[in-house]
Amino acid sequence: MNQTVVILDFGGQYNQLIARRVRECGVYCEVLPYHTPVEKISKKEPIGIIFTGGPNSVYLEDAPRCSKEVFELGIPVLGICYGIQVMAHTLGGHVTSPDSREYGKTKTKYDTACPLFDGLPAQGITWMSHTDYVDQMPEGFSATAYTDSCPTAAMQNQEKKLYGLQFHPEVLHTQNGTQMLHNFLYKICGAQGDWTMGDYAQNTIDAIRKKVGDGKVLLALSGGVDSSVAAALLAKAVGPQLTCIFVDHGFMRKNEGDEVEAAFAHKGMNFVRVNAEDRFLAKLAGISEPEKKRKLIGEEFIRVFEEEARKLDGIDFLGQGTIYPDIVESGTKTAKMVKSHHNVGGLPEDLKFQLVEPLRQLFKDEVRACGLELGLPYEMVYRQPFPGPGLGVRCLGAITRDRLEAVRESDAILREEFQIAGLDKKVWQYFTVVPDFKSVGVRDNARSFDWPVIIRAVNTVDAMTATIEPIDWPVLMKITDRILKEVKNVNRVCYDMSPKPNATIEWE
């Protein structure tokens, strides 16, 4: 059995990020709700417990709290942000709400004799996201980090192995934050680093088997990284009980439908391909609002599944390759919605299946690592991500066949040229979009009035933020030249310079 860390979730937006950092440090962890009974926590025999942040003020009556007994188990506890405040409040300290706000990047000084800060420089930048702070520490605690306006940016009771941080070590804005978590795990909890992505895959396979039993699973297979890794996990877990349905909604990249079929048909699972382009185009005719398009595509997707499922006998579960950023961006309890990702927001309310979402807790780069562990080919695992609604959200506004073809053809050229230039290995996501307005040009000495193509190429680690990729001029010139020559109804090529934020990666 792996050593386990329990993360108690107090509702903060970074709770899964903490889990991810713990995994990065080679330690198995589970995120549980803050009100999990102490007996359940101790049954897991954790080597450490981490309290996440949360948006509340601990002194308010209905604020989430924990039982005092958690601190009496003799297991090291690290309270982060709201977590340090819960710790202080529960153990007889005091939390205050100051007049002046300390928020964002903050200069912080550390006492490097504290094991959390062992081996770190004596000062650095930390990320603060809560205005309340501990103004009176509980008995037996001492302060181990300070900022200009917070005398208890960190506190410890070494004897009882209780530690608190007012700031967020899990976000990249905090310098050496991962090292602080590493110190907590290895220097305080005695972690041995006995957990790997292979273990994650195996645990997930076991969990799928337990959940599904001898039920039948239907999976939406798009051939993208997420659904391919989900398919591989499900196939290993429940083999012939799995039917993968590949709905070709007509918004696939050039030749992609045939490639998906070649990769997954006749591989031990049941594979069904449905060609539904006409049906999707009819459904979306005249619809230009991005969220409505997403929802319609998502709903139609599920309807096609339901129709296929009815043809199959007794399907109980619907598998999906939903990953953690999809959930955050579609709005969780605490995070605000940016855009609904179609495999989350588009689900119809009368859905008849139970969901199996084996990648729900993973970030994109972890999904790839998991795919490699499962033996999927490198090219498939490192294939660039592709949104569920596909080219449907890259053919901006109301979708028309001519513009859809222009997106598909220009995208194929872009991908071909990126591969020749070796950029497919350097750039995380690259694609074209075609807006729904025309511009004037000249072709063969005559006026043209045609669509523009916009090229987008971004780099990111987890799709939450992204930077644009400066592409060499000759590469862009060659791509432009080819698009203008080879793609019908196009007379202009532009390059999108916008990072995320303020833009998102996709245009819609």
Which residues contribute to the site for ligand XMP (CB under 6 A)?
294, 326, 329, 339, 341-343, 385, 387-389, 429, 463, 500, 504-506
Sheet holding 123-128, edge to edge: 28-33, 4-9, 48-51, 77-80, 162-165, 154-157, 142-146, 104-110, 123-128
- DSSP E strands, 345-500: 354-356, 429-433, 439-443, 446-459, 467-468, 490-495
Residue owning tokens 């999809």: 326
User: What is the number of alpha carbons within 13 Å of residue 7 lying toward its C-beta?
Assistant: 25
Question: Phi and psi for 160 in degrees, rounded to 5?
Answer: -90, 0
**Please, what is the minimum distance in Å from the beta carbon of residue 506 to ligand XMP?**
3
Residue with smaller CB distance to ligand XMP, 109 or 500: 500
Cβ 161 vs Cβ 139: under 8 Å: no
Kindly state the smallest distance separating residue 432's Cβ from ligand XMP, in Å.
13
Choose the catalytic residue: 89, 130, 168, 341: 168
Cβ proximity to ligand XMP, 339 vs 492, nearer residue = 339
Is 168 one of the catalytic residues? yes
Q: At what angle do helices 290-311 and 277-284 cross, to 10 degrees?
A: 140
* Residue 72 annotated as catalytic: no
Question: Closest approach of Cβ 142 to ligand XMP, in Å?
Answer: 44
Residue closer to ligand XMP (CB basis): 53 or 346: 346
Nearest approach in angstroms of CB 227 to ligand XMP is 9
Nearer to ligand XMP by Cβ, of 83 and 388: the residue is: 388
Nearer to ligand XMP, 294 or 415 (CB): 294
- Structure-token pair, residue 410: 């220009």
Strands 162-165 and 77-80: parallel
Q: How far is the CB of 427 from ligand XMP (least distance, A)?
A: 12
Nearer to ligand XMP, 48 or 388 (CB): 388
Q: Which lies closer to ligand XMP via its Cβ, residue 248 or residue 329?
A: 329
Q: Which helix (H) or strand (E) holds 227?
A: helix 225-238
Q: How far is the CB of 351 from ligand XMP (least distance, A)?
A: 17
Q: How far is the CB of 345 from ligand XMP (least distance, A)?
A: 8
Cα–Cα distance between 457 and 430 in angstroms, integer? 4
CA–CA distance, 282 with 250 (Å, rounded to integer): 11
Grouping H, G, I as helix, E, B as strand and the rest as coil, residue 218 is: strand
Count CB neighbours of 76 within 10 A.
22
**Cβ nearer to ligand XMP, comparing 79 with 257:** 257
Nearest to 26 by CA among 186, 169, 170, 172: 186
Catalytic residue among 130, 150, 170, 244: 170
CB of 313 to ligand XMP, least distance (A): 29
| Structure tokens given for 418 | 């990126």
- Burial profile 19-40: b = 16 or more Cβ within 10 angstroms, e = fewer: bbbbbebbbbbbbbebebeeee
E strands, 301-353, are: 315-319
Task: Find all residues with CB under 8 Å of 217, minimum gap 6, and list them.
Answer: 234, 238, 241, 242, 243, 315, 316, 317, 318, 319, 356
Of residues 25, 29, 66, 81, which has the active-site annotation? 81
Residues labelled catalytic? 81, 168, 170
